[in-house]
């Protein structure tokens, strides 16, 4: 029995442009409107397309088979529970991540949050039995990546296009752009906190298991063995082992605040523009596919980790049994909230991999995001204490799942986008024995924050510095100035 993470790779949509155009014409075009498909966009498990309807750009998302299957199952059960159906069954209390997206987009659209993200465009035809009366989606049987699986009923949504360009497509930008990104994420976290307080249904929907959630780092262990390079495998195992000992068994995770997370605030999901000729600023955020609220109950983590350590001794022939057991173990735990700090540490991890970070200033890039976030949404001392480990944990997840996904789908070159720089960043952060220097840099990013009059973005000159492997031509001068002061 394959895990959901395995099935997402197998049931990733594989849809030709002609079929995408047919979907637009059948569900979203009215009268004399004209639709066109511009190109397919990068995605891990779903299929995204940049399209135009009457000259207006939009994003067509075809959800993978796992999320689609759950949406269809739950909405079908809800339909059967309607009084006029006379079946006398109870409606399910859970909902799908697709339903959560609808709640999120509606909430973040409120002007008081100053957060710009996509909005769902309803279908332009009466609801049918197949879409269960939900105007925000349509459903069609479509092919998937796995040749061993027949076409699947997949959920499709059309979203407004967020104007600007992804930060990942920007070769050159100032450090202030990353500070602004961190501040933007902080505002979004405030908005998500309000969503938790005001919408109980959204809270219930987000109580789900998701392998990319940082608190499930231990569940990446079965995939580590697929890393061919022994040194890289050892590096990832070291992060996982420390996470287990310090965060889970040591109880440090119990001290973190909780909330709904965006979950993937990377440069690919940060939209930037220069609207007022003051430099590249964040104009929007996209892709809430990693949004979670559900996590393992902390008091049980110690027992779970002890079992996981014993499972590490299993040989390759028992890997599938191990993966299944881990999935079953996770499924029986009660839901609780996700660590708020994981949003900023995820953003910091991917800041290391931006064009700014890859230019030899990766730690500086992470510090810039941290400064902006901490200014907007201050971290607690307990959260700050473990930033380096949590950033390394996200990188460990990224390289491990990215490696496994590419082996399952070698044609998806998007999976290789962050591979080499992610390994380099993880080695710098965790493998180079520089913990004190990096921890100190993260502390500086959270302290002595200054904002110029008339600006909303904190200054960042004190966190602008090259990575350790770049020679510091002014090292002696800095030493002399330090002595003089």
Res 114 pLDDT > 80: yes
Greater pLDDT, 18 or 105: 18
Q: Under a CB-based contact definition with an 8 Å cutoff, are residues 373 and 182 in contact?
A: yes
The C-alpha angle with vertex 131 and arms to 102 and 161, in degrees rounded to 5, equals 40
Q: Tell me the sheet residues that pair with 56.
A: 53
For residue 173, the model assigns a pLDDT of: 93
The reported pLDDT for the residue numbered 40 is 94
Q: What's the confidence (pLDDT) of residue 208? A: 62
pLDDT: which is higher, 274 or 363:
363
Is residue 309 over pLDDT 50? no
If residue 374 lies in a helix (H) or strand (E), which one and from where to where?
A: helix 362-376
Rounded CA gap, 457 and 109, in Å? 23
In this structure, the number of other CB atoms found within 10 A of the CB of residue 171 comes to 8
Residue 313: pLDDT over 70: no
DSSP assignment of 213-244: SGGGGGGGHHHHTT---HHHHHHHHHHHHHII
pLDDT in tens, 431-447: 988 999 999 999 999 99
pLDDT of 204:
63
* pLDDT > 60? residue 299: no
Q: Is the pLDDT of residue 308 over 90?
A: no
Helix (H, G, I), strand (E, B) or coil at 41: strand
User: Residue 66 and residue 4: Cα distance in Å, rounded?
Assistant: 7
pLDDT tens per residue across span 127-149: 555 556 678 899 999 999 999 99
Q: Give 29's contacts (C-beta < 8 A, 6+ positions apart).
A: 35, 53, 124
Counting residues of the chain whose pLDDT is more than 70, the rounded percentage is 81
HSE-CB for 74 with a 13 A CA cutoff: 17
Cα separation, 22 vs 445, whole angstroms: 50
pLDDT tens-digit series, residues 233-242: 999 999 999 9
DSSP string, 62-83: E--HHHHHHHHHHHHHHHHTSG
Residues of 69-89 as b/e, b for ≥16 C-beta within 10 angstroms? Answer: bbbbebbebbeeeeeeeeeee
Of 249, 285, 232, 266, residue with least CA distance to 105: 285
Rounded (5°) CA angle 479-483-485: 120
Q: Of residues 286 and 147, which shows the higher confidence score?
A: 147
Specify whether the CB–CB gap between 394 and 236 falls below 8 A.
Answer: no
pLDDT value at 300 more than 80: no
Cα angle at 325 between 74 and 244, to 5 degrees?
Answer: 105
- What average pLDDT does this structure show over 220-236? 95
Q: How far apart are CA 266 and CA 268, in angstroms?
A: 5
Are 52 and 62 contacting, i.e. CB atoms less than 8 angstroms apart?
no
DSSP secondary structure string for all residues of 381-438? HHHHHTHHHHHHHHHHHHHHHHHHHHHH-TT-GGGGTTHHHHHHHHIIIIISS-HHHH
pLDDT band at 322 (very low <50, low <70, confident <90, very high): very low
Average pLDDT in the chain: 83
Look at residue 84 and give its three-state secondary structure.
Answer: helix
Higher pLDDT, 223 or 213: 223
Segment 257-272, tens digit of pLDDT? 988 888 888 888 899 9
Which residues are bridge partners to 120 per DSSP? Answer: 159
Instruction: Tell me the per-residue pLDDT of 324-373, one tens digit each, with 9 for 90 and over.
Output: 333 333 333 322 357 999 999 999 999 999 999 999 999 999 999 999 99
- pLDDT tens across 21-75, in order? 999 999 999 889 999 999 998 887 899 999 999 999 999 999 999 999 999 998 8
DSSP 3-state percent helix, strand, coil across the chain (nearest 5): 50, 10, 35
Check residue 419 and give its pLDDT. Answer: 85
């Amino acid at each position: 029995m394959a895990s959901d993470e395995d099935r997402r790779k197998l049931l990733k949509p594989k849809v030709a442009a002609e079929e995408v155009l047919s979907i637009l014409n059948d569900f979203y075009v009215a009268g004399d409107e004209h639709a066109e498909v511009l190109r397919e966009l990068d995605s891990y498990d779903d299929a995204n397309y940049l399209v135009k309807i009457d000259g207006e750009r939009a994003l067509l998302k075809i959800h993978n088979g796992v999320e689609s299957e759950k949406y269809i199952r739950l909405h079908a059960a809800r339909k059967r529970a309607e009084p006029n159906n006379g079946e006398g069954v109870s409606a399910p209390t859970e909902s799908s991540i697709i339903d959560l997206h609808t709640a999120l987009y509606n909430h973040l659209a409120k002007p008081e949050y100053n957060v710009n993200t996509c909005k769902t465009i309803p279908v332009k035809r009466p609801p049918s039995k197949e879409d269960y009366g939900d105007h925000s989606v349509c459903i069609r049987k479509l092919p998937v990546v796995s040749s061993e699986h027949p076409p699947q009923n997949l959920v499709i949504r059309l979203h407004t296009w967020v104007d600007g360009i992804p930060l990942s497509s920007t070769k050159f930008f100032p450090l202030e752009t990353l500070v602004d990104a961190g501040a933007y994420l902080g505002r979004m976290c405030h908005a998500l906190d309000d969503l938790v307080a005001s919408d109980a249904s959204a809270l219930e929907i987000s109580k789900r298991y998701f392998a990319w959630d940082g608190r499930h780092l231990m569940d990446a262990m079965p995939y580590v063995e697929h890393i061919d390079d022994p040194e890289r495998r050892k590096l990832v195992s070291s992060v996982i082992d420390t996470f287990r000992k310090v965060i889970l068994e040591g109880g440090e995770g119990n001290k973190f605040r909780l909330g709904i997370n965006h979950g993937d605030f990377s440069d690919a999901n940060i939209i930037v523009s220069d609207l007022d000729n003051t430099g590249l600023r964040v104009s929007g955020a996209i892709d809430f596919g990693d949004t979670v609220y559900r996590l393992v109950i902390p008091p049980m983590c110690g027992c779970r980790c002890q079992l996981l350590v014993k499972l590490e001794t299993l040989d390759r022939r028992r890997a599938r049994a191990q993966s299944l057991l881990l999935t079953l173990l996770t499924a029986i735990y009660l839901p609780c909230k996700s660590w708020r700090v994981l949003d900023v540490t995820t953003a910091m991890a991917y800041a290391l991999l931006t064009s700014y970070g890859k230019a030899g200033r990766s730690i500086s890039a992470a510090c810039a995001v941290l400064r902006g976030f901490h200014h907007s949404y201050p971290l607690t001392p307990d959260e700050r204490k473990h930033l380096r480990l949590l950033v390394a944990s996200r990188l460990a997840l990224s390289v491990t799942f990215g490696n496994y996904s590419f082996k399952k789908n070698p044609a998806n070159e998007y999976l290789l986008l962050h591979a080499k720089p992610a390994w380099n960043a993880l080695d710098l952060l965790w493998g180079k024995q520089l913990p004190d220097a990096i921890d100190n840099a993260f502390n500086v990013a959270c302290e002595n924050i200054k904002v110029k009059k008339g600006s909303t973005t904190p200054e960042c000159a004190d966190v602008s510095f090259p990575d350790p492997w770049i020679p510091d031509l002014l090292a002696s001068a800095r030493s002399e100035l330090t002595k003089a002061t």
